[in-house]
């Protein structure tokens, strides 16, 4: 089962310079909320920023990670 | 629906996105959302008085599979305006808060008060637009 710490470290490992705050929204280990700041988001639309984060988890989104609510910023 | 091949489902989705200026793929219906994220997205659209078509993706898992393959977006709900994916609950909520959603919808649709949202059940992917 994924946890907030693991999700945070996977985002930060996959996206250069990223800093992530992740919380388990419901405490159930499947609904997470993340705030991600990464310089690489600059110039990308929100859709593209969120896709980048979702792509870290691939098929896990909608699977073991039922929901990953995102807020993204470039700085 | 059960005998409908997957490519027909994808075709139906493509057609629905093309033919409906504002269309929301969601879990449940606007009157009875089956997920908090879908509920919040419906709420944002309704509070702007936006008219939108809605598709319940729950009746057939292939709707979601084909939709996500098409849109390259993993989660539900998904809002499309003018044939383009706007985003899911997070982005729609954020755009609602900043006024961008109103601007987007206002640009696409005159700000006349339309009827209450009409729901299309996902079975057979019947879409009812609200015009």
CA dihedral over B51, B66, B18, B83, signed as positive or negative: positive
The DSSP symbol for B31 reads S
What value does the mean pLDDT of chain B take?
Answer: 84
Q: From the list B72, B75, B87, which residue is nearest A46 (CB)?
A: B87
Q: What is the pLDDT of residues B6-38, one digit of tens each?
A: 789 999 999 999 999 999 999 999 999 999 999
Instruction: Note the pLDDT of residue B3.
Output: 59
Instruction: Note the pLDDT of residue A27.
Output: 86
Q: The whole model's pTM is what?
A: 0.83
Kindly identify which residue of chain B lies nearest to residue A49, measuring between CA atoms.
B91
pLDDT at B2 over 90: no
Neighbours of A32 (CB within 10 A): 23
What's the CA gap between B125 and B117, in Å, rounded?
17
Q: Which of A32, A47, A64 to mutate to test the interface with B (most CBs of B within 10 A)?
A: A47
Residues 31-60 of B with CB under 8 A from A: 37
Q: What is the pLDDT of residues A35-74, one digit of tens each?
A: 999 999 999 999 999 999 999 999 999 889 989 999 999 9
Hey, what are B109's tokens?
């649709």
Rounded mean pLDDT, A28-36? 93
Q: Are A62 and B74 within 8 A, CB to CB?
A: yes
């Amino acid at each position: 089962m994924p946890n907030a710490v693991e999700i945070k470290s996977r985002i930060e490992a996959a996206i250069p310079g990223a800093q992530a705050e992740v919380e388990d929204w419901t405490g159930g280990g499947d609904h997470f909320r993340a705030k991600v700041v990464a310089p690489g988001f600059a110039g990308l639309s929100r859709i593209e920023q969120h896709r980048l984060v979702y792509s870290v988890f691939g098929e896990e989104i909608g699977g073991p990670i039922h929901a990953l609510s995102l807020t993204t910023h470039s700085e | 629906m059960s005998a409908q091949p997957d490519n027909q489902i994808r075709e139906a989705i493509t057609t629905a996105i093309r033919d409906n200026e504002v269309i929301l793929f969601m879990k449940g219906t606007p009157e009875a959302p089956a997920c908090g994220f879908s509920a919040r997205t419906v709420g944002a659209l309704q509070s702007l008085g936006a008219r939108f078509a809605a598709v319940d993706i729950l009746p057939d898992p292939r709707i979601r599979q084909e939709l996500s393959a098409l849109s390259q977006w993993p989660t539900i709900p998904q809002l499309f305006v003018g044939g383009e994916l706007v985003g899911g609950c997070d982005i729609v909520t954020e755009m609602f808060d900043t006024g961008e959603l109103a601007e987007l919808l206002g640009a696409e649709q005159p700000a006349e008060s339309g009827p209450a949202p009409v729901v299309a059940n996902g079975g057979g992917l019947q879409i009812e637009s609200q015009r």
